[in-house]
Each structure stands twice: as structure tokens, then as C-alpha cells.
A and B are shown apart, each in its own frame.
Chain A
Amino acid sequence: MSVILDGRSRVLVQGITGREAAVHVPYMLAYGTHIVAGVSPGRGGEAIHGIPVHDTVLAAIRVHQVDVAVLFVPARFVRDAALETIEAGVPLVVVLAEGVPHHDTAELLARAAELGARVVGPNSQGVISPGKAKVGAPGGDRPDLMFRPGPVGVVSRSGGMGAELSMALTKAGIGQSTYIAIGGDLLIGTEFVDVLPLFEDDPETEAVLLFGEPGTGREQAVAELIQGGGFTKPLVAFIAGEFLEDLPPGVRFGHTGGLIEGDQGRPSRKKAALRNAGVRVADRLDEIVPLVREALTSRRSVRSITRSAG
């Protein structure tokens, strides 16, 4: 199994005639992603890679059932495109663009909440359920190099590091159920605590690997979720950027969500909170794969005990 996305998910590509889509749509198709329609205003009636193009999302959903929309749309047009998709009733919208103005994100997330839609991103690399489907960039043209089907859910604030760590797992013979890049921005639609319950309910996911960053209280919320019993599977976490705590405050690298503002944004606080909740926290990158292996082993031994007891 997998979460959010699988081989049956019917995918709409918004901005299908753009530069980014031109690269990734063929890779998505080659991976088996079930793309039913594309949208590009003014290009309705055309077909790209055999996919029918519509002028509007509304026109597309009149003729196609859509489960997931992925937005290959530049940052400055994201608000409009995402609102169009959300208003049209698409239940899951993946926003890839980096650099979406924060007020735009707030507006589209508010509308999504009102209409019950889930937004992944902005600034998400995408989602891949290995062996089944992918939306966005994960894996590029050689997804098998990085991703294989398997028991580990991967969720990351950094698309690049999520791919890197998935590759490390794959090279170690450990596959993934689903990899979700939740996005590096300050405001995002799908938080760690929204993803973990999905992995909790997914019978194929046996453990989860989480990549966190400085800034926000995202990782502490995970600790609270675990302590409240909302997630019970083994979790391995790596939190980047502890060295920033020794630099003057306000120094920004990388993601907009990565600015340490206040104590909760400190990686050391995040790591302590997660450890306190029983999470296996790696201090170094090369500790991650062994910890995941250990997590899987612990899970399997618990399950076999449960089984023999039952």
C-alpha cells in the first residue's frame, strides 16, 4: 500500500504546457502515473503526450474524474491556479513552486480548509509511491535509482534531502511505501502531523523516516502526536541545522520555514522533544540507515510477539 497517491490515482497536471511540466510529465507517465488531463489556459483542445489539454480545471473535471492535481506553475501564478483547482473541488493539490508569497499561501490554504481539500506544499518536490505513481520531481528520469517499493514511509521538509535519504535506504535494500516532500516554506498545507496518521493507517508502512529543519514547531507537534497516541509505529528522525544556534539570530539559509524565531525553532529543542517521545533521532547522516533498520527489526519483533500472543 501507500498513502496519498497510488497507481489508481487520477492525476490532473496544471500548467502542462510549461517548461517544468515538459520535463517531468513524460517521467511521470513512464513511471505509470495515471494522468487523465492537463490544464493550460488558451491551449484547450490540444493534446500533449497523448493527454487532453483543457483551458480550465472546471472544463477538465466535467469530463474526467480527478483525485490529485499537481501544479507546475511559477510561484507568482500559484495563488490563482491553486484556488482554481480547489474551487473546482479537486481533493488533493500538490504545489511544487518555490517562492510563493506567504500571503498567497495563507489565502489558498484558508480556502482549501473551507472546502476540505488537502494541499501538499508549496515548495514541495512532490510525492512518489514507489512502483506505483509519482507526481512532481521525485526520481527524475531514473526513479528506480532512488526509490523502491518497501516498508518505510519518508516525509521531509527538504525535497532534496528526502530524495537523498530515500536513495540511501534503497541502496541499503530498504524500500519506501510513499515519500512525501511536505515543502520547505513557513506555511504549508500538509504538516508532519497530517502525514503520520496516514502512515499509521497504512498496513504496508512499518516505520517512518522524517527529515526536519530549523524553524517552526513542526517537529514538536510530532512529539505531541506520538505522546497522545496518534502515531505508534517506529519513527526515525534527522533534524538539520543545529549549528545555526551558534550563529547570530535571523541568519537565513535555504527554506523560508527555516528561520529560527524563538526557542521552539531550535533544532536542539526539536531533537530533545522527539527523543523524549521515543523517536530514534540521528545526529549524523550516516546513522540514519542503521536506525531505520533497527526500527524495522523492532517493529517486526513486536508484531511477531503480538501474533504469537493472539
Chain B
Amino acid sequence: MARLLEDAALTLLAEAHVELPQWRIAGSAEAASTAAAAIARPVVLKALVPAGGRFKLGLVRVAKDPGEAAGVAMELLGRHLGPFLVRRLLVMERLDIAEEHFASLTFDPACRGPVLLFSRAGGVDVERHVDAEMYRRPVNVTRGLRSFEGREVAAQAGLRGDVIVQAGRLLERLYRIFRACDARLLEVNPLVVTADGRLRPASAVIELDDQALFRHPELAARLSDEAGTGTRPFTPLERRIREIDEAEPEPGGIRFVEFPNGDIAFMVTSGGAALTVLGQLVALGGRPANAFDITPGPNEEKIYLTARALLARPGLRGLIAGGNVKNFTRVDVHVRAIVRALRDAGVDPRRFPVVLRFAGPGIEAARGIAATLPGLELYEDDTSLEAAVRRIIELTRTPAS
């Protein structure tokens, strides 16, 4: 999923007229000091990195004046949150907190649509709170989430007084943003009630729907490449394969994740099959170097380039490629791309085991192509996917002669 950095998420809220604490971005201690001075109140400084759990890692800090803000900024900038380097800070007005709630919009398959989740138990550890405290409300997508529904949920959750009215207004707006930007998740935590009774989001998370980015080029541009896989930045190999994937005619069809310490290159495709075979490989003691999938289409060149990039990874002991039986996708195209990559990379399957398991249209032609590379093993529909996995494990365990 495509997670926006918090400043981009807050901007979307502000554009939809959601009232927020004052905030600025700072990339240096001096800028942090200036931002705190402009806000003219105590501030919270948050590291802008695409990861959760910042509070516990000490990357959310308080400063009571511009001088302190500069000091904190100096400590945070240039630090790493796990693998993420802190380059920018969000400097936000520190709210005088009376209560901390939680609100989120997401999709629930059981409701076949969006749901509003609301809890009075907001804050750092919200995920630990039991479901009983979480109020759920399926949203009627035809008419959207209305203020009264937001008020009902807020009242049900135990909010009292004018805050209920504010919650209704806010939740209606949040749903509109969720819908308008094709988000898969919009989460506000904490949703603060200030000491003087104002309801204010003190943070916002928005994850966009990858499948809808085509109609939001402006949001796609705001997505930070820094976000990586969501838990770490992209590796150089992942970046290379992303470049390959951006090429025409059908950009965006590859999913590739590199695993550390793996030694079997993995190019088994097609959603469920990739997942299943990867699982079997791990369960049987194999160590995949990566996960890979590609949307069917005119993609021979992409498969070739991916295989070339992947085969250049050091420490590999073998390659497994193929997939489930295909209905339509021509397997000879896939086999040709792989054989070409092996040949151009100077890989000798007699020394570097390569197991292919293909079934479907074009298998006769694939047989001929595979036969041009001695040592390459092509299995067909009379060999199960599991048997192919066993074979690559067996071959990569045996020392090459």
C-alpha cells in the first residue's frame, strides 16, 4: 500500500477544511526554531519517516520554545529510525490534551465496503485495546458517511456535549477525503479533545489504494519513494527492478521483494501460485532470495531484465521459475525470456541449478527453447509444484561438481 508521509496526509485534511493544530515542516535546526516561533506555542517535533511507532522510538519530542525546538531538531535530524534516515521534521502546535480518541476509515470485507472505527481509547497503544472498545459502523457508499452517523458513533462511544457535534462534522469530512483520494486507510490517532473542548486531529495516516493511483497522478507524485516496502527502504536490486517495471507498454505489473540471506532466485508467478510455492520452498528448508510476481501481458522484456538483474545478485545457488498451469498466458514466452537471461548472464545450469515448472499454452515450443541450454531442467504438468520445489532444494544442496 502507498502510505503518504504525514505532512502530505495533513495537507489533504487541511484542503478539506478539517481544523488542525498549526504545523510546519523543518529540515534544519534553524527552520525548526523559526517554525516554533511562528506557532508561538509549545510544539511537538515528529520525525517524518514512513513508519509507525515513532513515539516509542523517541522520534516524537516536545519543545516548549524555539530554542528547545532547535536543540531537539539537532538531535533528531540525521538519525535513523531503523533503516529510515530522518531528513525532515513535522513541527506541530502542542495541544493541551484533555482526552485522546481514535478514528479510522478502512475497508471491511465482511461488510463488503468501508467501515468507520471509533474508540475513546486513542493514543500510542490503541492497537492493544480490545475490540469491545472499538465502535464499528459500516458506511453506505451510495450516500457517504453523514454527520448524524458520526454523532451517533461518537455518542455511542461515550463522548458528551458539544464534542459530539464536532465529531459528526469531522467524521463526515474525513470520509469525504477517504473517498475522494481513493484511500484504503485514513486514520486519526490521537483525535484530541483539548482542555477548552475543541476536537482536533493531532496526527493523520493515509494509505492510498494502489489500484486507484491512475486517477490521482497528483497524489502519486506526493508518494515518497523513501517509504520503500513500508518497513524498510528499497534495496538497490528492488530499485533496479522498479525502474525495469516503469517501462512501457504496461508499467506497474511487477511486484518484487528481496529477502536477506536467501540463495534461491525465485521467479514463480501468478498471485496465489507465487505465494504457495514460496511457502513450500520455505517450509521445505529452502531460502528464497526474493519474492516476485508479474501481471500477465506483453512482458517478455521485463521478465528478461528482471532475471538479469536478479541473477547478478551475489550468493545465489540456483533459480526456480514457472508457475501454475496457465489458461492463456504463453509459457514459451516466459521460458524464452529466462533462457535468454541465463545465456546472456553467462550462467551454466550444469553448475548453477535451474528448475523450471511450466504448464499451459506454448509448452511444446518451451520444451525446444529449454533444450538449448544444457543442464536446465524443465518440468511440466505431470510434475507438481511441490515436486519442482523439492527438486531445486535438492539440487542447490548438492555441491556442484
Contact = CB atoms under 8 A, between A and B. Distances in A.
Interface string B292-322: 0101000000000000000000000000000
A282 to B, nearest CB: 10
A17 interface: no
B212 A101 contact: yes
A164 interface: yes
A251 B255 contact: no
A125 B270 CA distance: 12
B211 A100 contact: yes
Interface string A97-136: 0111111101101110110000000000100000000000
Interface string B38-73: 000000000000000000000000000000000000
Interface residues of B, number: 55
B283 A284 contact: yes
A102 B208 CA distance: 10
A259 B272 contact: no
Interface residues of A, number: 74
Nearest to B360: A140
Nearest to A249: B231
A139 interface: yes
A154 to B, nearest CB: 13
A300 B225 CA distance: 57
A152 interface: no
A280 interface: no
A209 interface: no
Contacts, number: 180
Contacts of B110: 217, 221
Interface centre among B214, B271, B386 (most CB of A within 10 A): B271
Given A102-B209, A107-B142, A254 B386 contact: no
Contacts of B122: none
Interface in B241-291: 255, 257, 270-276, 278-280, 282-283, 291
Contacts of A102: 107, 182, 184, 209, 211-212
Interface centre among A141, A161, A191, A249 (most CB of B within 10 A): A161
Contact of B255 (A75, A109, A186, A253): A253
Interface string A199-240: 000000000000101101110010000000000000000101
B276 A285 contact: yes
Contacts of A8: none
A214 B142 CA distance: 30
Interface stretch (B368-376, B377-385, B393-401): B377-385
Contacts of B274: 253-254
A138 interface: yes
B78 to A, nearest CB: 24
A75 B361 contact: no
Contacts of A242: 279, 283
The dominant DSSP class at the B interface is mixed
A257 interface: yes
Contacts of A125: 327
A235 to B, nearest CB: 18
A255 interface: yes
A258 B325 contact: no
Interface centre among A259, A283, A285 (most CB of B within 10 A): A285
A110 B276 contact: no
A303 interface: no
A189 interface: yes
A101 B178 CA distance: 13
B325 A167 contact: yes
Interface string B343-381: 000000000000000011100000000000000000001
A56 interface: no
A153 interface: no
A255 B272 CA distance: 8
A64 interface: no
A163 B103 CA distance: 41
A163 B257 contact: no
24 contacts: A23-B328, A76-B214, A76-B215, A102-B107, A103-B209, A110-B142, A140-B326, A161-B272, A164-B273, A187-B107, A187-B109, A189-B112, A191-B109, A211-B272, A214-B275, A241-B276, A243-B282, A249-B231, A250-B231, A251-B229, A251-B230, A255-B272, A284-B280, A286-B387
Interface of A: 23-24, 75-76, 98-104, 106-107, 109-111, 113-114, 125, 137-142, 145-146, 156-164, 167-168, 171, 184, 186-189, 191, 211, 213-214, 216-218, 221, 238, 240-244, 248-259, 283-286
Given A114-B142, A159-B272, 4 more contacts: A142-B361, A187-B109, A253-B274, A254-B271
Interface of B: 1, 107, 109-110, 112-114, 140-142, 179, 182, 184, 209-212, 214-215, 229-232, 255, 257, 270-276, 278-280, 282-283, 291, 293, 295, 323-328, 359-361, 381-382, 384-387
